[in-house]
Amino acid sequence: MTHNRKKAVVLSSGGLDSTTVMAIARHQEYDLFSLSFDYGQRHKFELKAAKINAALFNAIQHLIIDINMRRIGGSALTDDIDVPKAGDAHSADSPIPVTYVPARNTIFLSYALAWAEVLGARDIFIGVTAVDYSGYPDCRPEFITAFAKMANLATKAGVEGDDPFEIHTPLIHLSKAEIIRQGTALGVDYGLTHSCYDPTPKGLACGVCDSCILRKKGFIDANIKDPTPYQ
């Protein structure tokens, strides 16, 4: 079977983490195939940022797939539930915040796997991190390992003894500050990335949601000027 270890599918949300991952994959001399999802987010600033960064890092193709998560529901990021402000993101009986989108990374990686198989790529990059993260179960290393194992059984590669798929998680053991330092060294313009869960209509970050708080603290800890346009 034909495959090509120079091609990589990179999951990109246009956020700080996934844009850093794109810079890392580019630095490793992969040909980039950028994959974003329109999953009924409350706003489209993420998708705009993903498109800009795919162009800046010379992605060969940028694909946006509409996955209609609203039909399924279950999250403050896709439903009409208020996005919580700092310290208020968890319900009383759960360590997992209400912004958790059920099985989101499973669905994202499944599409990445499908596209990689069609492209003949074997390398998939995702910007999950188990350090400064929000407590989502599908960001943990054990989830990624289990996904990779499943992926190699799900596909032709697994049947035909071909070169296996690999899920790359270059940020998984990095703090937000370390991510920012690495991305800055590789030329990421974080002013062109979008992390806020609840931006103003013009796309300014709210500065007070969980995602903004983590991001702000990252720039402070990295001792790098925060270029994020806050409201």
Bridge partner list, 121? 4
Least distance CB 7 / a second copy (angstroms): 14
| CB nearer a second copy, residue 120 or residue 187 | 120
| CB nearer a second copy, residue 29 or residue 142 | 142
Least distance CB 83 / a second copy (angstroms): 18
Residue 140 token pair? 């943990």
Q: Which residues bind a second copy (CB under 8 A)?
A: 1, 63, 65-69, 71-74, 93-96, 100-107, 110-111, 113-115, 117-118, 135, 137-138, 140, 142-143, 146-147, 149-151, 153-156, 158-160
Least distance CB 183 / a second copy (angstroms): 27
Pairwise CA distance, residues 122 & 115, whole Å: 10
Pairwise CA distance, residues 157 & 150, whole Å: 11
| CB nearer a second copy, residue 139 or residue 212 | 139
| CB nearer a second copy, residue 172 or residue 204 | 172
Pairwise CA distance, residues 223 & 41, whole Å: 31
Least distance CB 125 / a second copy (angstroms): 17
The residue type found at 44 is K
| CB nearer a second copy, residue 74 or residue 229 | 74
Least distance CB 132 / a second copy (angstroms): 17
